[in-house]
Amino acid sequence: MTLTITERRGHVLLIRMNREHKRNAVDRALADALDEAFNLLDDDPDLRAGVLTGTPAVFSAGSDLTALGDYSTERGGEYGLIRRDRRTPLIAAVEGPALGGGLEMVLACDLVVAGRSARFGLPEVARGVVPTCAGLFRGPRALPLNLAHELALTGDPFDAARAHAAGLVNEVTEDGAAEPAALALAERICRNSPTAVGASLAAMRRWAAASEAEGWRATEEAIAAVHDTADQREGVQAFLEKRPPRWSGR
């Protein structure tokens, strides 16, 4: 099975995650396939914008727990995307859930289009773990702080309308129309000077990156605080066994 499907649409590269039987959860193989697609987007001067999407039912459920954290690549970091230094605009086209690392992939993009039934969430605390792929600092940057707190501390998702009102989503479409709307947005970018677009994006990303070093340090401290705790083991086991967790606070 092809884990990513790429299509050239003029100067736009459409990248589809294609692991729907696992809710597009990212393992080693999908991370490598995504990395290859993003490398093409970065390296081909004829490509001026990219669109990242999932399947009609789901954008991505984030990390595949069976991968045991093995989903980083040399150029892109986690999922081939999270730590990538890009100069080519990337738009997320979201249908269905974008949860955990799926939302962190959305936060790594530059613009977001979502179908009306899309959902965004960081459910990690319900598993006894924490968001590890920049959600703890890109979330508060992309959203009002109290909404970022709600996402990270309750684990409950919110819908596309609320995401749009909060500024995370650029455009809400009818279900099934996020991809064509994202391609249309990409075409609007491609009408402009690729040199000016690349320089503008690089400047904005450089500004954002200035605070990210501290964000990664804070995330590493949060990861260490829950690593190998009884709650972490219980949360993951309960998730795999599809039962409510029994927290001990240890």
* 104 labelled catalytic: yes
User: Which CATH number is 41's domain given?
Assistant: 3.90.226.10
Query: Given pLDDT bands bounded at 50, 70 and 90, which one contains residue 157?
Result: very high
Residue 170 lies in a domain: yes
Q: Choose the weakest-confidence range: 19-33, 86-100, 105-119, 225-239.
A: 225-239
For tokens 């990270």, the residue is 152
What pTM does this model have?
Answer: 0.96
Q: Which of 78, 95, 124, 171 is catalytic?
A: 124
Say how many domains are in the chain: 1
Strand order of the β-sheet with 158-159 is 97-99, 119-121, 158-159
Q: How far apart are CA 78 and CA 101, in angstroms?
A: 9
Residue 122 lies in a domain: yes
Structure confidence by residue, pLDDT tens digits, 159-173? 999 999 999 999 999
* 78 labelled catalytic: no
209 has a pLDDT exceeding 90: no
Q: Which of 78, 95, 104, 171 is catalytic?
A: 104
Residue 191 lies in a domain: no
Fill in the DSSP letter of residue 55.
B
